[in-house]
Structure 1
């Protein structure tokens, strides 16, 4: 949350998009590194040492941020930290139609990804016959797509508009869901076809994310940190609904999962198209829009 706000405070459109995509690349590497580090800790200490290591890491990170991370908002633009102002800010953000549409793009894209991640304990062993040591069949293409999509977004930044970049991302996502639904409509689940689409789905999603995030933050430039927290709340809430409700409903069938993911991707596309149409209409009516 704070990282996204800091990036937008300090950098313009293209540079901010490059840095956001770089953050995504780093995040995509973390799931690969974390188990290795955890394995090292467990090989030398008791498993409880993992929690101690997390505590030490958190304290060290907090200390480093306190000492070396300056406030990036100029004094004249800083807002008071009080309940009334926060309530007004949250009210303004959550009453914004454009915020819901732009936050919905990121949230529904994440839901399409998280549907498969949360369904992995059923999808991989029951439908694909894989054991716990073979979960890489799903996570390698997924993480690779996130990393390479973020790298592509990094290269695109400044060379095309956010709108065009987002269209490119949706092209890959729609191709992925079309193949996935078509395959499982006629053929039984099988490797690698039942998981191959995840590379292209996450590749497209990672291309979309920087532009969609920055466009949402720019709706309220004076409270970008609050906007970032609201955007994260929407995405996290969607993840909770997917894991707790939708995944258990759909994981009995790979075709149902494919249709669910396709539905989320189409909802994300609908949010984006609606936001674009709403913005154009407001501009025609003489209302300035970010």
Structure 2
């Protein structure tokens, strides 16, 4: 059987990215080795860089102007020519070394961390903020970041001893949302709450033992103004000082027989309740 002819676009990209006599980068190429080090938090913190893999994350990183360098396999340049005009060609082995997934999609970007402070984020007067206090599971954290973005949050704060938002699993779970709202890291959760209050936001602590019902709060207009939600870890919830500092401790009502909601589901319910309230037209006076 005759080999299938290469698409013209793939042929053009191959010629563009690979000069005659220059092989694609391998897992032993110094630039690939340097990028791979970003899988470690220490390297990310020291360099201010992180890795984003897959076409969705790369597309959002390019749109945000966050890409420092893009690595792509020849196959990926053929599938995604709109993303790979300035990519560096690498082997499948190099991508396997850079990616942290079982089946890499051929694209890995080295990206700049935005380095936004809480003061910078609050200066934009966000109407919805999510605070991830001491949440260490990267999958949960990335999912909440993605949900907060979808609900229209202007900032997501990783407070205290929380997971690094630029951890590979967290970035993947965010599905590109790590490039949308302001992502803030702050080591003092109580100071975060104080800053949010000074910024005019009502601070709500999500807890299964809350004394305020989410439905009641929504029905009485308690979600109509700028709001910051505090979410704690799946295993331990929010620390007592944060519960005490919040304006309300809010529970999600359980109308069936389930014992509880997991963290990401509860966060989605809370954030979307706020999103709906913030977008509801003000009642007209008779």
TM-score interval, smaller chain: under 0.3
TM-score by length of 1: 0.26
Greater relative contact order (Cα 8 A, min sep 6): structure 1 or 2? 1
TM-score by length of 2: 0.26
More strand by share: 2
